[in-house]
A = this chain, B = another copy of it.
Amino acid sequence: MSSERAASLSRPLRVAVLASGRGSNLQVLIDRIHGRGKVQIVAVGSDKPQAPALARAEAAGIETHVFATADFGGGRSERDAAIAAWLSGLGVELVVLAGYMQLLGPELLERFSGRVINVHPALLPAFPGLDAVGQALAYGVKVFGVTVHFVDDGVDTGPIILQEAVALPNARTREEVFDALHEIEHRLLPRAVGLIADGAVAPDPEHPRRVLVR
């Protein structure tokens, strides 16, 4: 991707965001990086018709689309095909999962190979999957953190772009951990998108599983 991107650095990277919830990460992307020359958020999709993320997108004049579970009798594969067609039609170059609660299937991931990123509230590979913060609290860790990574066909197993840790040795509730992690997410996710737009993110040729960030 980085060589493709290098050829087109003169125009903004076309980004889509998929979100299921509040959309606070979407809002940060809109506020800090969208429409400033480097990144254009051209689409926001959700599986939840009532997701506040959709209203945030509309308020920013960004096209939205709902891919509700109820509308896709055929299940994930059919929904993914519809999402992929929509993204392709809009010329999307990078897909950002920002609190998107559906797993993406292999067809979509293959079509957007190396062009889907996710933000996860743990220091992967620790605590993948749902309720990462609850898992970490139950384990009794003293250090929490956030990972931005490429999405592959596993659950939160793709190559890591950025990570940041925070020491919370006395944390006992999800709320206090999320207070710290949201701040980190809101810093790391725009940074990752900006770095990708700059063509500054590439696999290490010697070990492609490791991501080099210039």
Contact = CB atoms under 8 A, between A and B. Distances in A.
11 contacts: A123-B123, A123-B143, A126-B126, A139-B160, A142-B160, A143-B163, A163-B167, A164-B167, A170-B213, A172-B207, A172-B210
B145 A160 contact: no
Interface in A99-143: 123-127, 137-143
A129 B184 CA distance: 29
Contacts of A207: 138, 140, 172
A33 interface: no
Nearest to A203: B140
A19 B163 CA distance: 33
Contact of A209 (B140, B160, B164): B140
A210 B123 contact: no
A145 to B, nearest CB: 6
Given A142-B160, A162-B169, A163-B167, 6 more contacts: A123-B123, A123-B143, A140-B209, A143-B145, A145-B165, A170-B212
Contacts of A212: 170
Contact of A125 (B139, B204, B210): B139
> What's the number of copies of this chain in the assembled complex?
2
Interface string A192-214: 00000000000010110111110
Interface in A158-185: 159-160, 162-165, 167, 169-170, 172
A213 to B, nearest CB: 6
Interface residues of A, number: 31
A114 B125 CA distance: 27
A194 to B, nearest CB: 15
A136 to B, nearest CB: 9
Closest 5 CB pairs of A and B: A165-B165, A140-B210, A142-B163, A126-B126, A143-B163
Contact of A142 (B126, B140, B162): B162
Contacts of A210: 137, 140, 172
